[in-house]
């Protein structure tokens, strides 16, 4: 309900601090892939991941605290999250830091929702509904995955931090993937309820 209220109150502002942080996060996607797959500058790549996770938390916090929610921000923020998750999974899978299933499961969920909404969104628009708001579980899943990636990357290196990073990183990763799919199912259930109500 809070997300729907925010969506209704969001303005058309473009130049806001939260939007700038989301754009910064988007620009970090190709930078991260280049660092991981090109020079293999792992320290800098981990730093980019940590900054991405921090700005993901910060832009939402600032948008609410400074009353800077906007329609553009509601598009940029989840888009940056999705791109970061996919790019990071691909980079870490190519480097064999994570197993293939950890790449496949989140990407399969996103592809499933893309196909589902491709059929359903036109129906919702005809009945006066917009895209469903981001669910709290979706935000929690994204946060878990963004915390997991730098930890799993650290765990792939030698050092005293490797074992603790591996344990905590896999805890975040497993919870993140489970919540990611759970949130996806909730989106489908919510949209089907909207369609039924609209038909009645």
Per-residue confidence (pLDDT) for residue 16, from 0 to 100: 81
Q: Which residues share a beta bridge with 11?
A: 70
Per residue in 151-163, pLDDT (tens digit) is 999 999 888 999 9
What is the predicted pLDDT for the residue at 20?
85
Q: What is the pLDDT of residue 11?
A: 56
Residue 37 and residue 94 in contact, taking contact as beta carbons nearer than 8 Å: yes
DSSP string, 76-130: HHHHHHHHHHHHHHHHHHHTTSS-HHHHHHHHHHHHHHHHHHHHHHHHHHHTT--
Could you say which residues of the chain have pLDDT below 70? 1-12, 130-131, 198-200
Domain that holds residue 177: 2-199
Note the pLDDT of residue 12. Answer: 66
CATH number, residue 117: 1.20.120
CA–CA distance from 97 to each of 3, 112, 152 (Å)?
35, 25, 7
pLDDT at 68: 76
> Could you tell me how many residues make up the chain?
200
Q: What pLDDT sits at residue 7?
A: 44
* Total of domains in the chain: 1
pLDDT at 8: 44
- Give per-residue pLDDT as tens, 103-117: 999 999 999 988 988
């Amino acid at each position: 309900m809070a997300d729907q209220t925010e969506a209704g109150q969001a303005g058309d502002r473009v130049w806001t601090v939260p939007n700038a942080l989301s754009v910064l996060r988007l620009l970090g996607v190709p930078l991260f892939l280049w660092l991981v797959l090109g020079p293999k500058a792992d320290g800098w790549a981990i730093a980019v991941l940590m900054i991405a996770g921090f700005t993901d938390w910060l832009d939402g916090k600032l948008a609410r605290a400074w009353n800077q929610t906007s329609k553009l921000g509601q598009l940029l923020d989840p888009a940056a999250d999705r791109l970061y998750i996919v790019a990071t999974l691909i980079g870490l899978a190519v480097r064999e830091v994570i197993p293939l299933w950890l790449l496949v499961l989140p990407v399969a969920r996103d592809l499933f929702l893309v196909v589902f909404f491709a059929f359903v969104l036109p129906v919702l628009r005809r009945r006066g509904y917009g895209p469903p708001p981001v669910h709290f579980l979706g935000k929690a899943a994204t946060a878990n995955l963004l915390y997991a990636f730098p930890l799993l990357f650290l765990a792939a290196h030698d050092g005293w931090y490797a074992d603790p990073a591996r344990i905590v990183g896999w805890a975040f990763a497993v919870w993140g993937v489970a919540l990611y799919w759970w949130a996806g199912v909730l989106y489908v259930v919510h949209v089907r309820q909207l369609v039924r109500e609209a038909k009645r």
